[in-house]
Structure 1
Amino acid sequence: MSDFDYDLFVIGGGSGGVRAARVAASETGARVALAEDDRYGGTCVIRGCVPKKLMVFASEFAEVAEDARAYGWSMDRGDFDWSAFRTRLNGELDRLEGVYRSLLKNAGVTTYDARAVIRDTHTVELSTGESLTAKHILVATGGRPVRPDIPNADLGIVSDDIFHLPELPKSILIIGGGYIACEFACILNGMGVEVTQYYRGAQVLRGFDEEARGLISDAMKERGIALHTGTDIVEMRCATDDDLSGKSDGAISMGTPMHEIAGDAPQGENRDGPIWVKATNGQSGVFDAVFFATGRSPNTVDMGLEEVGVKLGRKGEIVVDEYSQTAIPSIYAIGDVTDRVNLTPVAIREGMAFVETVFRGNPTPVDHELIPSAVFTQPEFGTVGLSEEQAAEQEAVEIYSTSFRPMQSAFAGRSDRVMMKLVVSKESRKVLGCHIVAPNAGEMIQLAGIAVKMGATKEDFDRTVAVHPTMSEEIVTMRKATRTA
Structure 2
Amino acid sequence: MDFDFDLFVIGGGSGGVRAARLAASEAGAHVGLAEEYRMGGTCVIRGCVPKKLMVFASGYRGALEDARAYGWEVQAGAFDWPGFRARLDAELNRLENIYRTNLLKAGVDVYHSRAVLEDAHTVRLADGTVKTARHILLATGGQPFVPEVDGAEYCLTSNDIFRLDELPKRILIVGGGYIACEFACILNGLGVQVTQYYRGAQILRGFDDEARGHIAEAMRDQGVDVRCGTDVLKIDKVPQGLWVKSSDGHDAVYDQVLYATGRRPNSAGLGLEDLGVKLAGNGAVEVDGYSQTAVPSIYAVGDVTDRLNLTPVAIREGAAFVETVFKGTPTMPDHDLVAGAVFTQPELGTVGLTEEDAREQGPVEIYSTAFRPMQSGFAGRSSRVLMKLVVCAQTRRVLGCHIVADHAGEMIQLAGVAVKMGATKEDFDRTVAVHPTMAEELVTLKAPVRSA
Task: Please tell me the TM-score bracket, short chain as reference.
Answer: over 0.9
Q: 2:433 aligns with which of 433, 453, 466?
A: 466
The residue that corresponds to 1:350 in the other structure is 317
CA distance in 2, matches of 1:95, 1:473: 38
Instruction: State the alpha-carbon separation in 2 of the partners of residues 149 and 285 from structure 1.
Output: 20
Between stretches 420-429 and 69-78, larger displacement belongs to 69-78
User: Displacement, 1:343?
Assistant: 0.3
Report how far residue 299 of structure 1 moved. Answer: 0.7
Whole-Å Cα distance in 2 between the matches of residues 382 and 118 of structure 1? Answer: 39
Deviations 1:17-60 (A, max 9, x none): 00000000000100000000000000000000000000000000
Aligned to 1:127: 126
Q: Distance in 2 between matches of 1:66 and 1:104?
A: 45
The within-5 A match list for 1:87-102 is: 87-102=86-101
Aligned counterpart, 2:292: 325
Amino acid at match of 2:122: T
CA distance in 2, matches of 1:325, 1:108: 25
Tell me whether 1:182 sits opposite 2:181 in the alignment: yes
1:406 to 363, 373, 380: 373
Q: How far apart in 1 are the matches of 2:278 and 2:445?
A: 49
SS of residue paired to 1:307 = helix
What corresponds to 1:382 in structure 2?
Answer: 349
Q: Give me the whole-angstrom Cα distance separating, in 2, the residues matched to 1:464 and 1:297.
A: 42
Task: Give the CA deviation at 1:162.
Answer: 0.1
- Measured in 1, the distance between the counterparts of 2:385 and 2:248 equals 33
The residue number in structure 2 matching 1:267 is none
Alignment partners' CA distance in 2, 1:72 and 1:62 = 16
User: 1:306: how far off?
Assistant: 0.5
- Partner of residue 402 from structure 2, selected from 435, 449, 454: 435
Q: Quick one: which amino acid aligns to residue 334 of structure 2?
A: D
Alignment partner, residue 305 of structure 2: 338
Cross-structure match for 1:86: 85
Match of 1:282 in 2: 249
Inter-partner Cα distance in structure 2 for 1:297 and 1:390: 25
Query: Percent same amino acid at aligned positions?
Result: 66
Q: Given residue 63 of structure 1, which amino acid in structure 2 is its aligned partner?
A: G
How many angstroms does 1:151 deviate by? 1.6
Alpha-carbon separation, structure 2, partners of 1:434 and 1:478: 12
Question: Separation in 2 of the partners of 1:370 and 1:235?
Answer: 41
Say yes or no: does 1:302 pair with 2:266.
no
State how many pairs are aligned: 452
Pick the aligned partner of 1:426 from 370, 375, 393: 393
CA apart distance, 1:147 = 1.2
Gaps of 5+ in 2: none
Partner of 2:113: 114
For 2:235, what is the secondary structure of its paired residue?
Answer: strand
- By how many angstroms is 1:79 displaced? 1.1
Task: Report the CA distance between 1:282 and its aligned residue.
Answer: 2.6
Unaligned runs of 5+ in 1: 240-270
Match of 1:23 in 2: 22
Aligned residue in 1 for 2:228: 229
Once the two structures are superposed, residues 289-334 of structure 1 have per-residue CA deviations (whole angstroms, 9 ceiling, x without a partner) of 0000011111111100001110000100000000000000000000
| Paired position in structure 2 for 1:248 | none
Deviation of 1:64 after TM superposition, in Å, equals: 1.6
Match of 2:32 in 1: 33
Q: Which amino acid aligns with 1:296?
A: R
Q: For residues 77 and 114 of structure 1, what CA distance do their matches in structure 2 show?
A: 45
| Partners of 2:289 and 2:97 in 1: CA distance | 33
Which amino acid in the other structure matches residue 33 of structure 2?
Answer: L
Letter in 1 for 2:305: T
TM-aligned CA deviation for residue 283 of structure 1: 2.7
Secondary structure at 1:213 match in 2: helix
Q: State the secondary structure of the residue aligned to 2:157.
A: coil
CA positional deviation for 1:355: 0.2
**Once the 2 structures are TM-superposed, how far is the Cα of residue 131 of structure 1 from its aligned partner?**
0.3
Hey, what's the Cα distance between the residues in 1 that align with 2:84 and 2:126? 35
- Give 1:432's aligned amino acid: L
Match of 1:364?
331
| Residue of structure 1 in register with 2:218 after alignment | 219
1:282 and 1:66 map into 2 onto residues whose CA distance is 36
Secondary structure of the residue that 2:418 maps to in structure 1? Answer: helix
Question: In the alignment, residue 315 of structure 2 is paired with which amino acid?
Answer: I
Alpha-carbon offset, residue 366 of structure 1: 1.2
Find the aligned partners of 1:96 and 1:366 in 2 and give their Cα distance: 26
**SS of 1:297's equivalent?**
strand
Amino acid at match of 2:367: Y
Aligned-partner SS, 1:346 = helix
The CA distance in 2 between the partners of 1:188 and 1:69, in whole Å, is 23
Q: In the TM superposition, what is the alpha-carbon distance from 1:118 to its structure 2 partner?
A: 0.4
The Cα of 1:65 is off from its aligned counterpart by 1.6
Write the distance in 2 (CA, Å) between the matches of 1:115 and 1:390.
41
Q: What is the CA deviation profile of residues 246-272 of structure 1, one whole-angstrom value per residue up to 9, with x for unaligned ones?
A: xxxxxxxxxxxxxxxxxxxxxxxxx3x
Moved over 6 A (4+): none
> Is 1:415 aligned with 2:382?
yes
TM-score by length of 2: 0.99
Provide the rounded CA distance (Å) in 2 between the counterparts of 1:221 and 1:110. 50
Which residue does 1:209 correspond to in 2? Answer: 208
**Residue 215 of structure 1: how far off its partner (Å):** 0.6
Alpha-carbon separation, structure 1, partners of 2:419 and 2:64: 38
Task: State the one-letter code of the partner of 2:138.
Answer: V
1-structure distance, mates of 2:307, 2:62: 37
Paired with 1:410 and 1:78, the residues of 2 have a C-alpha distance of 25
Tell me the amino acid that sits aligned with residue 171 of structure 2.
I
* Counterpart check, 1:66 vs 2:33: no
1:200-241, Cα deviation, whole Å (9 max, x unpaired): 0000000000000011000000000011000000111102xx
Distance 2:97 2:225 in 1: 40
**RMSD between aligned alpha carbons?**
0.7
Corresponding residue number in structure 2 for 1:451: 418
Per the alignment, in what secondary structure is the counterpart of residue 332 of structure 1?
Answer: strand
| SS, match of residue 184 in structure 1 | helix
Deviation at 1:87, TM superposition (A): 0.3
